[in-house]
């Protein structure tokens, strides 16, 4: 809710997977250790390239109060598409099972011709850059694709917010699942997408997948 501040530490057993990909080779990472307000996972890299690092959580179910639903759906850009219909149905109940998929990239040494950043890592819901995400500067754009099970999500709200900002913006993807994000300030940025669907399970009403991509935007003086 206040990117990039940590609120609570993720417990190691909440993760289904933690991985790194470098030079086309993906490797699972150790479970990690819990600090005061974060889960720390270490990876050692021995060659130059652009490393993709990602984690995925195990499914978890929660229940929201009616007043919390509006705030939640506004935040993920789904109030107009899902929230108003839910409100009209008048059930008032909201039980949701969710999975989170988080990814970032690290530039290691001086990569030569490494374009692996443009390839999906295989998460169910994923934001895939179409430009080197480790060379962004203030004022630049980043074209991305939003994929679900490897297929593009069209007319889908992709959110983005700068570090320290309370609210962000949304941009809808086109028919090929593409959007272009403009960065008007330097620092860390969070790109986020949430796919919410009706559940067929008796103990939950909704199923969701949260995907994030964090990138660092340098100042104009970067060479």
Nearest to 123 by CA among 6, 13, 15, 9: 15
Query: What pTM did the predictor assign?
Result: 0.92
Quick: pLDDT tens for 47-106.
Answer: 999 999 999 999 999 999 988 999 999 989 899 889 988 988 887 889 999 999 999 999
Nearest to 118 by CA among 88, 81, 145: 145
Nearest to 185 by CA among 201, 168, 171: 168
- The CA-based diameter of the chain, rounded to the nearest angstrom, is 57
Integer angstrom CA distances of residue 167 from 71, 100, 121, 129, 213? 12, 20, 29, 23, 17
Higher pLDDT, 108 or 5: 108
Residue 35: what pLDDT?
Answer: 83
**Residue length of the chain:** 223
Give 1's pLDDT tier (boundaries 50, 70, 90): low
Please determine, for residue 125, whether its predicted confidence score (pLDDT) is greater than 70: yes
3-state secondary structure of 135: coil
Q: What is the mean pLDDT of residues 20-24?
A: 92
Residue 168: what pLDDT?
Answer: 87
CA separation for the pair 138, 219 (Å, rounded)? 5
């Amino acid at each position: 809710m206040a990117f990039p501040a940590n609120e609570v530490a993720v417990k190691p057993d909440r993760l289904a997977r933690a991985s790194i990909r470098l030079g086309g080779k993906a490797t699972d990472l150790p479970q990690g250790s819990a600090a005061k307000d974060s889960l720390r996972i270490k990876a050692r890299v021995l060659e130059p390239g652009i490393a993709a690092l990602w984690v995925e959580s195990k499914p978890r179910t929660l229940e929201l109060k009616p007043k919390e639903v509006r705030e939640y759906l506004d935040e993920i850009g789904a109030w107009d598409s899902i929230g108003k219909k839910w409100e009209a149905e008048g059930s008032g109940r909201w039980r949701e099972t969710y999975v989170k998929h988080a990814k970032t990239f690290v530039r290691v040494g001086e990569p030569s011709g490494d374009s692996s950043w443009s390839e999906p890592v295989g998460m169910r819901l994923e934001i895939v850059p179409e430009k080197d995400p480790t060379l962004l500067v203030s004022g630049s754009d980043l074209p991305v694709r939003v994929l679900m099970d490897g297929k593009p999500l069209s007319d889908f709200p992709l959110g983005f917010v700068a570090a320290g900002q309370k609210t962000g913006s949304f941009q809808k993807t086109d028919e090929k699942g593409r959007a272009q994000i403009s960065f008007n300030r330097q620092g860390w940025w969070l790109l986020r997408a949430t796919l919410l669907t009706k559940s067929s399970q008796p103990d939950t009403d909704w199923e969701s997948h949260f995907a994030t991509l964090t990138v660092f935007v340098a100042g104009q003086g970067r060479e």
